[in-house]
Amino acid sequence: MPNQRKNHMKKHLVAFIPCALAAGLVITGGLSAQAQTLLYSDNFDVADTGNFNASSQAGRHAGLLAGNILPQSGGIQLTISGGQLNLLTPAAGTSTGRMRLENSGSLGTKWDFASGAGGAAITTAGGMSVAFDWTAADNTSANWISYAVGFTNFDLNFSVVAPQTDSGILLRNNGGTALFANGTQLATGTNAFGVASLTHHFQLDYLFNSFADGTTVNLNAYVDGGLTDTQTFNWNGNSGFLTQEMASVGNGNRIDNYTISTVPEPATWAIMAGGFGMLLAARRFRRPQA
């Protein structure tokens, strides 16, 4: 009788666990979508009027910080055409065309991503993710686009290699990459990503839990879904202030679908781990008995 009762319980447990697991996976998928918070996006679908003010950019931005941030040109007036941002260069080899993310309430001051609700969301989630689509002007030249984070409120032609920049990465039209930290080049890749297509999806995941100086940050850089570079660095000399900037050398590089969001929160991964545990339990109970 005890064996019959035990087998009866196993039978019902085997039937129940797949249902619970399926429900758990549905919940996980829902939480994953909710846990990753969109902080800011620009689709560049509305042409600006040349002054990059709030009225000229209406309808382009979304996210938690959509009303706080306005992208501004640096070095040369950038243009929007065909629903893409055209990164121009003033003079070849002498300076860069830049897109700076500024405070809409105080233009000329870069937006501090460590502040307010956006900063709280980033540290709670354990980091931020930057992504955009990039169409290169060609696939043969050493011209590049770059992304820099961590520097305070200043304006330099080559911010990616500035001593105030905690982390900078550049991607060359010909597929090479380079990493920088506080003005020092750390690594260089040659043909680190394929260039058969001129259009690429670029994503940077910065993993950290504080904006305080000395905090360790882990960077994972992806091009077209493939991991190209990793970097470990520290916030250095920012006093809890975080800015971001994109730049380009060589005309013809275009940007679209630019987003800044939090990384998925740790709780999401915990639920996923629980789902996998239930799956293992189900498989264990299904094993034939000797």
DSSP 90: S
DSSP 110: B
Q: Are 31 and 267 in contact (CB under 8 A)?
A: yes
- Strand partners for 207: 127, 218
How many other C-beta atoms lie within 10 A of the C-beta of residue 181? 21
Q: What whole-number distance in Å separates Cα of residue 41 and Cα of residue 29?
A: 22
Residue 124: what residue type? Answer: T
Number of H helices, E strands in the chain: 3, 16
Per-residue pLDDT of the chain (290 residues), as tens digits, is: 455 554 544 444 444 434 443 344 333 333 344 479 999 999 998 876 555 555 567 778 999 999 999 888 877 778 888 899 988 887 765 677 888 888 988 878 899 999 999 999 999 999 999 999 999 999 999 999 999 998 766 566 667 878 889 999 999 999 999 999 988 888 776 668 999 999 999 999 999 999 999 999 999 999 999 999 999 999 998 999 999 999 888 888 999 999 999 998 664 444 444 444 544 444 444 444 43
DSSP 288: P
DSSP 66: T
Q: What whole-number distance in Å separates Cα of residue 102 and Cα of residue 123?
A: 21
- Strand partners for 80: 85
